[in-house]
């Protein structure tokens, strides 16, 4: 008969058995029993954030940079509701998280008790799964099951809502492996059907204008999947493009790299998507930011779609060969069957000649300036100064995010952490903190905007407390630049509330938090400022003053096709019709 | 600019789920969150140990939408199996309605005569009213209600559709 212990003890024991090393959290009344257990142990490190939203993004950054699940612990009511944005963010970007929320005692549930909210109700549709635990005897198994669900199949966030009396009541805890079987209704299909892979290989062998359209699924599949992608590319000779979430799976320095695709993708990537005869989608989901106008999306191609989530197939784009399974396993099978049938790389010289013409447009060129720092130039120099150290880059959301995606150049997976699906401003700083905790010796830089950074600026104190040497590089143009850009494109340049008024003095703000603050104001200060940032121990914030009016191009305007890209600011008309205005 | 809506076809889905707290909210919430229609929904546990429930959902959507609904339902952790009975082929659908009708004289006699045609049973009666119990496919019930409206329909309670595949095997 195993000895009984409290629910709070069982929780920490289960987390320890699962190999959890770091928990991001914030205490409160409904989780005090758990915090008392944390106080009395040394195996799990608790990182105290400054707002629960920061805890979830930090856990996301940790998860994406390490490949391990991120763990969050918050209290009931406002603790849980503050966590919701990050939970949705993790759901949209398929990030494995387990979020433990305190809840009022079971007897008070439904009574509008102090700091009560219906956490399972609120998070039911923004989690992969959630639990309200009413019996401490079931807690251990639920924690193990939650980790299994969060990390397997298409990863995502799982919430465990734990009433305070269940944290105190006692029960026995069973070690993993001795517990109940995994959920009967949950059987993600990991292994793709061989016959379908065979069909895909034959299509790739006979394609004249193939393209590999890759996404975050390859990152989620693990580092081996990125290596398999490189091998598959070598065998087939096909060009590679990627979504925002998939950057780094194929090296940006690789010869077959076309750059990112989609709304702010390169000309060659989008034209190749439009003109290809075979599209091999590997772990991406035909997001609206990728496809542009659906009825004009790659009209003449045959489409293969590998996705571990069956609901991603035919959701927005009808595909010819949907394959359910882990994208890494699928590519492994493709390589095996390709070699077994002794296929040679097809002659794609006409296709590559066409791509070379598109590349010659040099769509990432931007107008140079000697008077002010062009934001693209700032990111390019930051990349040049840091690439040897293989930095982990996080971002906030907006123009700076797109510039970082386009000009940083990623050669390895798990180095690029950004909020893609939900587009959450305020993601970058806490994500950088999480990434740094998982990779203590790495160079971690949050490329930020002056508006986004203020959404979770309080997390600077978290970096200070845990001596995390994260760098924040703000492209400060005094505008919510992407909002301003859309107002320029669509609303006749009427800048309704997109000016960042009353900005703080970021250098003094950094110093107030115990960071080093650096200001870069002119092009000639750029390299020295970046170097000073890199040479400074501890956390550094750089306030880099960039061109106030630069917009982010290339761009496919909302509701337009891949062939209707705007490459330069002088092609902007300033107004759009209602159909275009109504699109996201 | 005007908002466009898509037309669709009716499908009956049979969904086996864990009989646990919140499961109905999970299913219903998925439909509202993704903008799918629910024409009717019935749920009850169907195993001896009361661990599994069958949810029968009648929905409407274009073929691509129906495919998405099935995939999205299948993705929920407590969902064991989703069967599109409409696509699968022969199946039977039944629902039960309780129909209160008020009337005197000829109307009262006519109501009873029609009830007999539709094999509706009288389960409550006063000198000026009846409650009929009628079972059948949704179209039969609709037709019966249409007729009762003419003779004095007061109110209706319908269960929604329960459905099962024909033949000896489980779906």
Contact A274, A561 (CB under 8 A): yes
Rounded CA separation A71/A59 (Å): 6
- pLDDT at site A546: 98
Q: Which of A175-184, A255-264, A367-376, B114-123 has the lowest mean pLDDT?
A: A175-184
In this structure, the answer to whether residues A214 and A103 fall within a common structural domain is no
In this structure, the answer to whether residues B69 and B104 fall within a common structural domain is no
Long-range contacts of A178-184 (CB under 8 A, 24+ apart): A179/A140, A179/A141, A179/A144, A180/A141, A180/A145, A182/A145, A182/A148, A183/A145, A183/A149, A183/B77, A183/B78, A184/B18, A184/B80
Chain A residues in contact with B76 (beta carbon < 8 A): 129, 185
Which of B61, B88, B115 delimits the end of a domain? B88
In this structure, the answer to whether residues A28 and A52 fall within a common structural domain is yes
Contacts of A558 (CB under 8 A, 6+ apart): A263, A490, A576, A580, A583, A584
The answer to whether residue A186 sits within a structural domain is: no
Interface check A309 vs B, CB under 8 A: yes
Interface check A184 vs B, CB under 8 A: yes
Rounded CA separation A9/A453 (Å): 37
Residue A584 has pLDDT above 80, yes or no: no
In this structure, the answer to whether residues B84 and B96 fall within a common structural domain is no
Rounded CA separation B66/B55 (Å): 16
The answer to whether residue B160 sits within a structural domain is: yes
In this structure, the answer to whether residues A240 and A352 fall within a common structural domain is yes
* Contacts across the A-B interface (CB distance below 8 Å): 46
Q: What is the mean pLDDT of residues B16-20?
A: 95
Contact B30 A120 (CB under 8 A): no
Q: Which helix (H) or strand (E) holds A176?
A: none
**pTM of the prediction?**
0.95
Chain A residues in contact with B29 (beta carbon < 8 A): 124-125
Q: What is the mean pLDDT of residues A527-544?
A: 98
Interface check A501 vs B, CB under 8 A: no
The neighbouring-strand residues paired with A566 are A555
Using CB atoms, pick whichever of B29, B64, B78 lies closest to residue A185. Answer: B78
The answer to whether residue A147 sits within a structural domain is: yes
User: Domain limits at B109?
Assistant: 91-164
Chain A residues in contact with B68 (beta carbon < 8 A): 311, 314-315
Chain A residues in contact with B25 (beta carbon < 8 A): 121, 124
Residue A1 has pLDDT above 90, yes or no: no
List the single residue in B with minimal CA-CA distance to A317.
B64
Residue A181 has pLDDT above 70, yes or no: no
In this structure, the answer to whether residues B115 and B82 fall within a common structural domain is no
The answer to whether residue B29 sits within a structural domain is: yes
Tell which of A125, A294, A295, A316 to mutate to test the B interface (max B CBs under 10 Å): A125
Number of Cβ within a 10 Å radius of residue A584:
7
Is A114 one of the catalytic residues? Answer: yes
In degrees rounded to 5, what are phi and psi of residue A402? Answer: -70, -40
Contacts of B116 (CB under 8 A, 6+ apart): none
The answer to whether residue B3 sits within a structural domain is: no
Chain B residues in contact with A313 (beta carbon < 8 A): 71
In this structure, the answer to whether residues A284 and A246 fall within a common structural domain is yes
In angstroms, the separation between the Cα of residue B80 and the nearest Cα of chain A is 4
In this structure, the answer to whether residues A418 and A534 fall within a common structural domain is yes
The answer to whether residue A546 sits within a structural domain is: yes
- pLDDT at site A180: 54
Task: For tokens 């099962």, name the residue.
Answer: B164
A131-175 per-position pLDDT tens digit? 999 999 999 999 999 999 999 999 999 999 999 999 999 999 987
Give chain B's domain count.
Answer: 2
Please state the length of chain B: 171
The answer to whether residue A566 sits within a structural domain is: no
Chain A residues in contact with B74 (beta carbon < 8 A): 310-311
In this structure, the answer to whether residues B115 and B152 fall within a common structural domain is yes
In this structure, the answer to whether residues B39 and B50 fall within a common structural domain is yes
List, as ranges, residues 31-60 from B with C-beta within 8 Å of A.
33
Give chain A's domain count.
Answer: 3
Per-position DSSP letters for A439-488, written without gaps between them: -TTS-EEEEEETTGGGGSGGGHHHHHHTT---EEEEEE-SB-HHHHHHHH
In this structure, the answer to whether residues A314 and A247 fall within a common structural domain is yes
Q: Which is nearest to A47 in space by CA: A83, A64, A22?
A: A22
User: pLDDT-derived band of residue A278, with 50, 70 and 90 as boundaries?
Assistant: very high
Contacts of A34 (CB under 8 A, 6+ apart): A8, A11, A12, A73, A100, A102, A162, A167
The answer to whether residue B81 sits within a structural domain is: yes
Contact A124 B77 (CB under 8 A): no
Q: What is the mean pLDDT of residues A214-228?
A: 98
The answer to whether residue A568 sits within a structural domain is: no
In this structure, the answer to whether residues B102 and B153 fall within a common structural domain is yes
Of all residues in chain A, what percent carry a pLDDT higher than 70?
Answer: 98
Q: Which is nearest to B57 in space by CA: B160, B166, B159, B150?
A: B160
Predicted interface score ipTM higher than 0.85 = yes
List the single residue in A with minimal CA-CA distance to B18.
A185
CATH code of B102's domain = 3.30.70.1150
In this structure, the answer to whether residues A87 and A221 fall within a common structural domain is no
| Per-chain mean pLDDT for chain B | 94
CATH code of A431's domain = 3.40.50.970
List the single residue in A with minimal CA-CA distance to B15.
A185
Tell which of B75, B78, B79, B84 to mutate to test the A interface (max A CBs under 10 Å): B75
In this structure, the answer to whether residues A351 and A388 fall within a common structural domain is no
Catalytic residue among A41, A114, A384, A511: A114
Contact A186 B30 (CB under 8 A): no
Interface check B28 vs A, CB under 8 A: no
Q: Which is nearest to A520 in space by CA: A531, A535, A536, A509?
A: A531
In this structure, the answer to whether residues B28 and B74 fall within a common structural domain is yes
Q: Which is nearest to A118 in space by CA: A132, A100, A134?
A: A132
The neighbouring-strand residues paired with B122 are B132
In this structure, the answer to whether residues B71 and B33 fall within a common structural domain is yes
Interface check A186 vs B, CB under 8 A: yes
Contact A439, A412 (CB under 8 A): no
The answer to whether residue B76 sits within a structural domain is: yes
The answer to whether residue A365 sits within a structural domain is: no
Contact A185 B64 (CB under 8 A): no
CATH code of B19's domain = 3.30.70.260
In this structure, the answer to whether residues B22 and B73 fall within a common structural domain is yes
In this structure, the answer to whether residues A241 and A333 fall within a common structural domain is yes
Rounded CA separation A1/A199 (Å): 56
Catalytic residue among A260, A482, A555, A565: A482
Using CB atoms, pick whichever of B1, B29, B68 lies closest to residue A311. Answer: B68
In this structure, the answer to whether residues A11 and A159 fall within a common structural domain is yes
User: pLDDT-derived band of residue A182, with 50, 70 and 90 as boundaries?
Assistant: low
Which of B37, B63, B88 delimits the end of a domain? B88
User: pLDDT-derived band of residue B7, with 50, 70 and 90 as boundaries?
Assistant: confident
A231-246 per-position pLDDT tens digit? 999 999 999 999 999 9
Is A471 one of the catalytic residues? Answer: no
In this structure, the answer to whether residues A411 and A349 fall within a common structural domain is no
User: pLDDT-derived band of residue A184, with 50, 70 and 90 as boundaries?
Assistant: confident
Which of B88, B116, B133 delimits the end of a domain? B88
In this structure, the answer to whether residues B31 and B96 fall within a common structural domain is no
| Per-chain mean pLDDT for chain A | 96
The answer to whether residue A427 sits within a structural domain is: yes
In this structure, the answer to whether residues A234 and A155 fall within a common structural domain is no
In this structure, the answer to whether residues B50 and B98 fall within a common structural domain is no
A429-478 per-position pLDDT tens digit? 999 999 999 999 999 999 999 999 999 999 999 999 999 999 999 999 99
Contact A186 B77 (CB under 8 A): yes
Is A333 one of the catalytic residues? Answer: no
In this structure, the answer to whether residues B63 and B18 fall within a common structural domain is yes
Contacts of A286 (CB under 8 A, 6+ apart): A305, A312, A315, A316, A317
- pLDDT at site A69: 98
Rounded CA separation A252/B30 (Å): 39
CATH code of A334's domain = 3.40.50.1220
> b/e for A37-52, b at 16 or more Cβ within 10 A?
bbeeeeebebbebbbb
User: Domain limits at A332?
Assistant: 194-359
- pLDDT at site A559: 83
């Amino acid at each position: 008969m195993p000895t009984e212990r409290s629910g709070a003890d069982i929780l920490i024991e289960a987390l320890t058995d699962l190999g959890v090393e770091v928990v991001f959290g914030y205490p409160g009344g409904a989780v005090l029993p758990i915090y008392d257990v944390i106080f009395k142990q040394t195996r799990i490190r608790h990182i105290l954030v400054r707002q629960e939203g920061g805890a979830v993004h930090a856990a996301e950054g940790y998860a994406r940079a390490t490949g391990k699940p991120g763990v969050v612990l918050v209290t009931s009511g406002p603790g849980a509701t503050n966590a919701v944005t990050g939970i949705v963010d993790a759901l949209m970007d398929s990030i494995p998280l387990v979020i433990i929320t305190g809840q009022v005692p079971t007897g008070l549930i439904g009574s509008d008790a102090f700091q009560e909210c219906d956490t399972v109700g609120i998070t039911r549709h923004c989690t992969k799964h959630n639990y309200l635990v009413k019996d401490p005897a079931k807690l251990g198994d639920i924690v193990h099951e939650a980790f299994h669900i969060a990390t397997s199949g298409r990863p995502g966030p799982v919430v465990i809502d734990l009433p305070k009396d269940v944290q105190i009541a006692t029960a026995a805890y069973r070690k993993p492996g001795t517990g109940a079987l995994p959920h009967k209704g949950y059987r993600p299909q990991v292994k793709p059907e061989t016959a379908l892979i065979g069909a895909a290989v034959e299509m790739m062998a006979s394609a004249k204008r193939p393209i590999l359209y890759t996404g975050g699924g390859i990152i989620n599949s693990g580092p081996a999947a990125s290596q398999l992608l490189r091998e598959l590319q070598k065998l087939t000779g096909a060009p590679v493009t990627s979504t925002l979430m998939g950057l780094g799976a194929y090296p940006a320095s690789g010869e077959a790299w076309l750059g990112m695709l989609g709304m702010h993708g390169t000309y060659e990537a989008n034209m190749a998507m439009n003109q290809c005869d075979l599209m091999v989608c590997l772990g991406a989901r035909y997001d609206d930011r990728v496809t542009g106008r659906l009825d004009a999306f790659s009209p003449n191609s045959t489409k293969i779609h590998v996705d571990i989530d069956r609901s991603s197939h035919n959701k927005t784009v009808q595909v010819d060969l949907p394959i359910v399974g882990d994208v890494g396993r699928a590519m492994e099978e493709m390589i095996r069957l390709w070699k077994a049938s002794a296929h040679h790389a097809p002659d794609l010289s006409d296709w590559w000649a066409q791509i070379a013409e598109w590349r010659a447009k040099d769509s990432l060129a931007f107008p140079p300036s000697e008077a002010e720092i062009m934001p693209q130039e700032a990111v390019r120099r930051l990349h040049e100064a840091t690439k040897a150290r293989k930095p982990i880059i996080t971002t906030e959301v907006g123009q700076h995010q797109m510039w970082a995606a386009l000009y940083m150049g990623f050669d390895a997976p798990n180095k690029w952490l950004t909020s893609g699906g939900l587009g959450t401003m305020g993601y970058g700083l806490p994500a950088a903190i999480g990434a740094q905790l998982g990779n203590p010796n790495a160079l971690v830089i949050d490329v930020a905007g002056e508006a986004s950074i203020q959404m979770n600026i309080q997390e600077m104190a978290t970096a200070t407390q845990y001596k995390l040497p994260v760098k924040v590089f703000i492209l400060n143009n005094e505008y919510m630049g992407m909002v301003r850009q859309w107002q320029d494109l669509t609303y006749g340049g009427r800048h309704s509330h997109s000016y960042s008024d009353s900005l703080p003095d970021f250098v003094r703000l950094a110093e107030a938090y115990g960071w080093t603050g650096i200001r870069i104001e002119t092009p000639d200060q750029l390299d020295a400022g970046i170097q000073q940032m890199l040479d400074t121990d501890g956390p550094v914030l750089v306030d880099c003053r960039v061109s106030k009016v630069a917009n982010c191009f290339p761009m496919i305007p909302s509701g337009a096709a891949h062939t209707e890209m705007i490459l330069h600011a002088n092609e902007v008309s300033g107004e759009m019709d209602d159909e275009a205005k109504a699109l996201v | 600019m005007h908002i466009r809506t898509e037309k669709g076809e009716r499908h009956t889905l049979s969904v086996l789920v864990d009989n646990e707290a919140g499961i109905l909210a999970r299913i219903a919430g998925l439909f509202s969150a993704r903008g799918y229609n629910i024409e009717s929904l019935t749920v009850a546990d169907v195993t001896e140990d009361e661990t599994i429930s069958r949810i029968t959902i009648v929905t409407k959507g274009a073929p691509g939408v129906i495919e998405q609904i099935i995939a999205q339902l299948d993705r929920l952790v407590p969902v064991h199996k989703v069967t599109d009975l409409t696509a699968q082929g022969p199946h039977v659908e039944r629902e039960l309605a309780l129909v209160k009708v008020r009337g005197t004289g000829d109307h009262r006699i006519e109501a009873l005569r029609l009830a007999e045609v539709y094999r509706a049973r009288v389960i409550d009666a006063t000198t000026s009213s009846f409650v009929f119990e009628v079972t059948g496919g949704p179209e039969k019930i609709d037709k019966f209600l249409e007729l009762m409206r003419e003779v004095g329909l007061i109110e209706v309670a319908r269960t929604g559709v329960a459905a099962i595949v024909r033949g000896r095997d489980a779906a």
